[in-house]
């Protein structure tokens, strides 16, 4: 075996033991090539070698992001040429040539020179695009008697003049993973602003420690380990993919003229998740959040709809209603109490608002800890990369950023009739209402409408729901009708096929009295009713129409205000992105917004490629009888797969907890929809019963893993639980058999 080459450093480069990266050095490779499972090294001696990389802005080479290389072998010489499209150079081709020479005799080998050249060319082309890059070429099965070889190209960047073609260092690595210092002078003039470190970890004093820390930091145990502007990219494949997608160029477009790397408009779940993740990745981030008061004057703190006027208060008030039912059931379980049980609206809302306040403060604290700037101002674009922030006092300040994320969410829609904004409330107002709403008319059949109607009725109020057409549009309609039937059995009245046309105030007060006039959607019939409170829950509109998006050319759906984006949440304007409820055609769910926000930040600033998966997202409607689902509704499954290709298994069930109280027998319902053409794969999962959310979560994970009916049958259920019913489903809808349950 030949003596391994010594580790060498270029003048001015950091010494071994310095931080893994700093402001000047962006690439560090520590893993010896010998540990790569893709290359087998044979014994042999390569006494002397050197390598040269040359980058050019035009010439021959590959195109469309692909890597091309060609070349051949002559005795003692490997040469080739390759190229990589460089979008940051106005679509021109960056072409490099590389050459490696050895005193040893190398036989001719078809394609080997091109392989090495293409790899080195790719790396140098990346470096020419102002990025740290790496490429490799290898020949693991040379002609008999010859030594396998690999050529590696690496490049780093430090502050200074723009990179020049001759500033791309290429490193040839020899047998057993040793680093080969370039022999002879560096070809071409040098500006002195490049720093390069060639590290042979097996010979460095602290090489093992460097490897261990780098592996722990990046969870990557292969070479090269590439960082761009302190952002971990990964290895060659991911670096090339990122370059082809344009991500590498974006990572390096650090314009010091901008005030921020990222401005997030909207302080809801998705926006905050994106902002904090970007800050964790070392970016300078600003969050603009301003709540325009509702027509009734309601506003709230940081956190968006979910925290303040959505998921959190809704679930807590749903729980308050369930506790009322539990108190009624408790007598059957032996509990005795003499005092009359009643509910205090003020006590509940105060406790709920106190909890929400703690969450608002927690978000503020989290932003502060991550050095995310937060300004309570309304954001409006005034020109490209520039936004105007207007606070509650009307004071205006302008900020610039390289990138923007729109996460402004939605607000409740109004009817557009006389008296709606003057006298009606929405979910924006309900959860902090300072008085008990009394007799309530809920207008709408959305999940917001039914959830609010459900917990208000559970608290003992007189509730009527006015429905224009169907319940829970977009959900499985069999399940929706079962939800409505259960609510009717528990005191909620439904006015079907009617819409309000006018709201009049009869008496002022807290609450007052309102008269609602409505007309039929199927004829001339009109009706009137008197209520203390009218709650509108007819849908929501995106908050995008007063943001100045037209000034920078961002397209929106003019009717809904929704923003069309591609599969990486990017709008038609390249530096503007969007997440959350403002997206067109995406589920309006908090966990989706959070996931999309985090992954977006990681793609923009962390060198990651993972995209948000909007398929098979579980959700729950927190009506008195909770409805959880994942995947296709039965109607949609029939539309996509055809009825004859589906098998629907279903059953009614009676939760054990309800049997002693002797209530609601055979009202809970379970259903799965299976694709017979795909091994009875479960494509729709539906449950109506207590704790539906807790049930659906685990099965949603199973569906992502390809859950089938056979896998459910093979699963041993936990007894006695509601979820176990899915492990014993045997009756199909097609059979027409009775699904009533006789026992627990």
Give the single-character DSSP code of 645: G
How many angstroms separate the Cα of 206 from the Cα of each of 20, 36, 180, 477, 591? 13, 21, 19, 65, 43
Please say if the pLDDT value at position 192 is more than 50. Answer: no
CB atoms within 10 A of CB 178: 21
Residues 91, 182: one domain? Answer: yes
Q: Which DSSP letter does residue 191 get? A: -
Q: Do the Cβ atoms of 412 and 440 come closer than 8 Å?
A: no
690: domain CATH number? 3.30.390.30
**What's the pLDDT band for 356 if we cut at 50, 70, 90?**
very high
Residues 485-504 have pLDDT tens digits of 999 999 999 999 999 999 99
What pLDDT shows up at residue 243?
76
Instruction: Name the DSSP letter for residue 733.
Output: G
| Least confident residue range of 8-12, 291-295, 475-479, 659-663 | 8-12
- Spot the catalytic one: 193, 203, 232, 719: 719
In a domain, 526, yes or no: yes
pLDDT band at 255 (very low <50, low <70, confident <90, very high): low
pLDDT value, residue 111: 36
Whole-number pLDDT of residue 669:
98
Structure-block tokens of residue 140 = 């693991």
Q: How many CB atoms lie within 10 A of CB 705?
A: 7
Whether 108 and 232 share a structural domain:
yes
Sign of CA dihedral 443, 445, 451, 453: positive
Least Cα distance to 376 among 363, 389, 359 occurs for 389
* CB-based contact 410:541 (threshold 8 Å): yes
Q: How far apart are CA 609 and CA 614, in angstroms?
A: 16
Residue 82 is predicted with a pLDDT of: 37
pLDDT at 216: 60
Sign of CA dihedral 455, 458, 462, 465: positive
Contact, 221 vs 231, CB < 8 A? Answer: no
SS (H, E, C) 307-330: HHHCHHHHHHHHHHHHHHHHHHHH
Which of 93-97, 280-284, 446-450 is the least confident region? Answer: 93-97
Question: 58, 219 in Cβ contact below 8 A?
Answer: no
Residue 442: closest CA among 432, 456, 428, 431: 456
Residue 21 confidence (pLDDT) above 50: no
Q: What is the pLDDT of residue 160?
A: 37
Can you give the CATH number for the domain in which 432 is found?
Answer: 3.50.50.60
CA distance 569 to 580: 10
Residue whose pair of structure tokens reads 């057409």 in the numeric block: 469
CA distance 173 to 153: 9
Residues 87, 212 within the same domain: yes
What tokens appear for 533 in the block?
Answer: 């409170």
Kindly report the average pLDDT of the chain as a whole number. 78
Q: Pick the most confident of 111-115, 168-172, 510-514.
A: 510-514
State how beta strands 396-406 and 576-578 pair: parallel
Q: For the residues 173-196, what does the mean pLDDT come to? A: 35
Answer yes or no: do 96 and 206 share one domain.
yes
3-class SS of residue 468: coil
Structure confidence at residue 743 (pLDDT): 62
Instruction: Give mean pLDDT, residues 97-119.
Output: 35
Distance, first Cα to last Cα, the chain? 76
Q: Are 145 and 265 part of one and the same domain?
A: no
The pLDDT value recorded for residue 5 is 26
Other Cβ atoms within 10 Å of 79 Cβ, number: 18
In a domain, 741, yes or no: no
* Dihedral over alpha carbons 417, 419, 423, 425 (to 10 degrees): 10
Q: Helix or strand or coil: residue 682?
A: strand
Alpha carbons 440 and 576: distance in angstroms, whole number: 42
The domain tally of the chain equals: 4
Please calculate the CA angle 637-639-643 and round it to the nearest 5 degrees: 70
Residue 174 has pLDDT above 80, yes or no: no
DSSP 732: B
Domain identity same for 199 and 287: no
Q: What is the pLDDT of residue 248?
A: 67
Is the same domain home to 195 and 75?
yes
End-of-domain residue from the set 251, 269, 291: 251
Q: Is residue 663 part of a domain?
A: yes
258: its two tokens: 């901008």
Q: Binning pLDDT at 50, 70 and 90, where does residue 8 land?
A: very low
Cα–Cα distance, 219 to 233 (Å, whole number):
12
Q: What percent of the chain has pLDDT over 70?
A: 68
**Residue 689 domain-assigned (yes or no):** yes
pLDDT in tens, 420-455: 999 999 999 999 999 999 999 999 999 999 999 999
**Segment 514-561, tens digit of pLDDT:** 999 999 999 999 999 999 999 999 999 999 989 999 999 999 999 989
Whether residues 393 and 469 share a domain: the answer is no
- The answer for residues whose C-beta is within 8 angstroms of residue 723's C-beta and 6 or more apart is 695, 698, 699, 717
Q: List Cα–Cα distances, 159 to 232, 233, 257, in angstroms.
A: 19, 20, 16
Tokens of 105: 């005799």
Looking at 197, 229, 251, the residue that finishes a domain is 251
E strand intervals along 657-735: 668-675, 681-688
pLDDT score recorded for residue 162? 36
Cβ-contact 375, 387 below 8 angstroms: no
Q: Please report whether residue 742 resides in a domain.
A: no
Of 358, 316, 233, 166, nearest in space to 608 by CA: 233
Q: How many CB atoms lie within 10 A of CB 490?
A: 15
- d(Cα 223, Cα 369) in Å, to the nearest integer? 34
* pLDDT score of 188: 32
| Rounded to 5°, angle at Cα 694 from 690 and 698 | 135
pLDDT at 242: 66
Q: Looking at residues 715-739, what average pLDDT do you find?
A: 97
Mean pLDDT of 572-583: 96
Q: How confident is the model at residue 335 (pLDDT cuts 50, 70, 90)?
A: very high
Domain-embedded: residue 2: no
Report the DSSP pairing between strands 646-653 and 668-675: antiparallel
pLDDT of residue 713: 98
Please indicate whether residue 318 is annotated as part of the active site. Answer: no
Phi-psi region of 182 (alpha: psi -120 to 50; beta: other; left: phi over 0): beta
Residue that wins the pLDDT comparison between 192 and 337: 337
Its pTM stands at 0.70
Q: Is residue 180 domain-shared with residue 85, that is, in the same domain?
A: yes
Mean pLDDT of 226-249: 68
Could you tell me which residue, 643 or 102, shows the higher pLDDT? 643
Question: What is the C-alpha to C-alpha distance for residues 151 and 100, in angstroms, rounded to an integer?
Answer: 8
**Residue range 304-329: average pLDDT?**
97
Per the rule left: phi > 0, alpha: psi between -120 and 50, beta: everything else, 346 is: alpha
> Is residue 527 domain-resident?
yes
Structure tokens at 481: 């009708």
Q: Within this chain, do residues 192 and 276 fall inside the same structural domain, yes or no?
A: no
Report the SS3 class of residue 4. Answer: coil
| Beta strands 179-180 and 498-507, pairing class | unpaired
C-alpha to C-alpha distance for 577 and 621, rounded to whole angstroms: 29
Torsion of CA 732, 734, 737, 743, to 10 degrees: 20
Helix, strand, coil share (%) of the chain residues, nearest 5: 30, 25, 45
Question: How far apart are the C-alpha atoms of 210 and 207, rounded to whole Å?
Answer: 5
Q: Which has the higher per-residue pLDDT, 120 or 737?
A: 737
Quick check: bond before 91 cis, omega within 30? no
Confidence of residue 237 (pLDDT cuts 50, 70, 90): confident
Is 611 within a domain?
no
pLDDT surpasses 70 at 482: yes
User: Among 100-104, 199-203, 537-541, 622-626, whose mean pLDDT is lowest?
Assistant: 100-104
pLDDT tops 70 at residue 618: yes
Strand spans (E) along 161-309: 170-173, 179-180, 226-228, 231-234, 260-265, 285-288
Do 589 and 495 share a structural domain?
no
Tokens of 491: 């005191």
Which H or E run contains 365? helix 345-369
- 528 Rama sector, left if φ>0, alpha if ψ -120 to 50, beta otherwise: beta
pLDDT of residue 279: 97
Angstrom distance (rounded) from CA 429 to CA 165: 63
Same domain, 95 and 122: yes
Residue 275 lies in domain: 260-411+541-605
The per-residue pLDDT for 212 is 72
């Amino acid at each position: 075996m030949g003596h391994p080459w010594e580790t060498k450093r270029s003048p001015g480069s950091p010494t071994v033991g310095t931080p893994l990266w700093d402001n000047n050095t962006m690439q560090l490779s520590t893993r010896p090539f010998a540990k790569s499972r893709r290359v087998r090294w044979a014994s042999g001696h390569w006494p002397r070698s050197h390598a040269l990389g040359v980058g050019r802005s035009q010439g021959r080479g590959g195109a469309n992001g692909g890597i091309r290389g060609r070349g051949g072998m002559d005795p003692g010489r490997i040469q080739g040429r390759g190229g990589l499209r460089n979008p940051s150079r106005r679509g021109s081709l960056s072409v490099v040539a590389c050459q490696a020479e050895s005193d040893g005799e190398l036989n001719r080998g078809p394609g080997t020179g091109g392989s090495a050249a293409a790899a080195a060319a790719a790396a140098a082309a990346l470096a020419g695009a102002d990025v740290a890059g790496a490429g490799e070429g290898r020949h693991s099965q040379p002609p008999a008697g010859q030594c396998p070889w690999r050529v590696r190209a690496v490049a780093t960047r430090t502050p200074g003049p723009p990179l020049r073609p001759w500033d791309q260092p290429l490193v040839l690595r020899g047998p057993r993973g040793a680093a080969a210092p370039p022999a002879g002078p560096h070809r071409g003039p040098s500006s002195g602003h490049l720093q390069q470190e060639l590290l042979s970890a097996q010979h460095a004093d602290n090489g093992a420690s460097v490897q261990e820390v780098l592996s722990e930091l990046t969870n990557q145990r292969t070479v090269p380990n590439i960082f761009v502007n302190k952002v971990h990219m990964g290895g060659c494949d991911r670096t090339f993919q990122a370059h082809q997608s344009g991500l590498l160029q974006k990572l390096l477009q650090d314009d010091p003229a901008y005030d921020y790397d990222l401005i997030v408009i909207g302080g809801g779940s998705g926006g905050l998740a994106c902002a904090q993740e970007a800050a964790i990745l070392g970016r300078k981030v600003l969050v603009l959040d301003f709540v325009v008061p509702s027509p009734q004057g309601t506003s709230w703190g940081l956190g968006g709809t979910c925290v303040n006027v959505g998921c959190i208060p809704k679930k807590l008030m749903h729980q308050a209603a369930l506790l009322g039912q539990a108190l009624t059931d408790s007598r059957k379980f032996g509990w005795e109490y003499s005092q009359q049980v009643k509910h205090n609206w003020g006590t509940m809302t105060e406790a709920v608002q106190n909890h929400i306040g703690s969450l608002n403060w927690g978000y503020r604290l989290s932003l502060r800890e991550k050095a995310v700037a937060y300004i309570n101002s309304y954001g409006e674009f005034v020109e490209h990369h520039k936004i105007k922030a207007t606070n509650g006092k009307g004071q205006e300040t302008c900020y610039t950023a390289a990138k923007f994320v729109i996460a402004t969410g939605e607000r409740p829609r109004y009817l557009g009739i006389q008296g709606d904004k003057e006298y009606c409330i929405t979910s924006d107002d309900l959860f902090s209402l300072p008085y008990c709403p009394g007799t309530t008319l809920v207008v709408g059949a959305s999940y917001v409408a039914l959830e609010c109607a459900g917990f208000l009725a559970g608290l003992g109020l007189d509730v009527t729901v006015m429905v224009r057409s169907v319940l829970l549009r977009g959900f499985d309609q069999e399940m929706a009708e079962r939800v409505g039937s259960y609510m009717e059995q528990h005191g909620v009245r439904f006015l079907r096929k009617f819409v309000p046309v006018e709201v009049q105030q009869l008496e002022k007060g807290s609450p007052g009295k309102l008269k609602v006039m409505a007309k039929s959607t199927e004829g001339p019939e009109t009706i009137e009713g008197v209520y203390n409170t009218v709650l509108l829950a007819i849908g929501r509109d995106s908050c995008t129409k007063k943001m100045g998006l037209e000034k920078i050319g961002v397209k929106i759906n003019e009717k809904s205000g929704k923003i069309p984006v591609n599969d990486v949440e990017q709008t038609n304007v390249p530096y503007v992105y969007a997440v959350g409820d403002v997206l067109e055609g995406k589920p309006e769910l908090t966990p989706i917004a959070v996931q999309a926000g985090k992954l977006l930040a990681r793609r923009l600033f962390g060198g990651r490629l993972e995209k948000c998966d909007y398929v098979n997202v579980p959700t729950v409607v927190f009506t008195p009888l909770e409805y959880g689902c994942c995947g296709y509704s039965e109607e949609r499954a029939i539309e996509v797969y055809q009825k004859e290709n589906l098998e629907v298994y279903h059953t009614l069930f009676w939760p054990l907890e309800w049997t002693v109280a002797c209530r609601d027998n055979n009202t809970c319902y379970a259903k799965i929809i299976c694709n017979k053409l795909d091994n009875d794969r479960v494509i729709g999962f539906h449950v109506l019963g207590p704790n539906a959310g807790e049930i659906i979560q685990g099965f949603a994970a199973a569906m992502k893993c390809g859950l089938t009916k056979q896998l459910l049958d093979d699963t041993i259920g936990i007894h006695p639980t509601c979820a176990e019913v899915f492990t014993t489903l045997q009756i199909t809808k097609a059979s027409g058999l009775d699904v009533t349950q006789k026992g627990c």
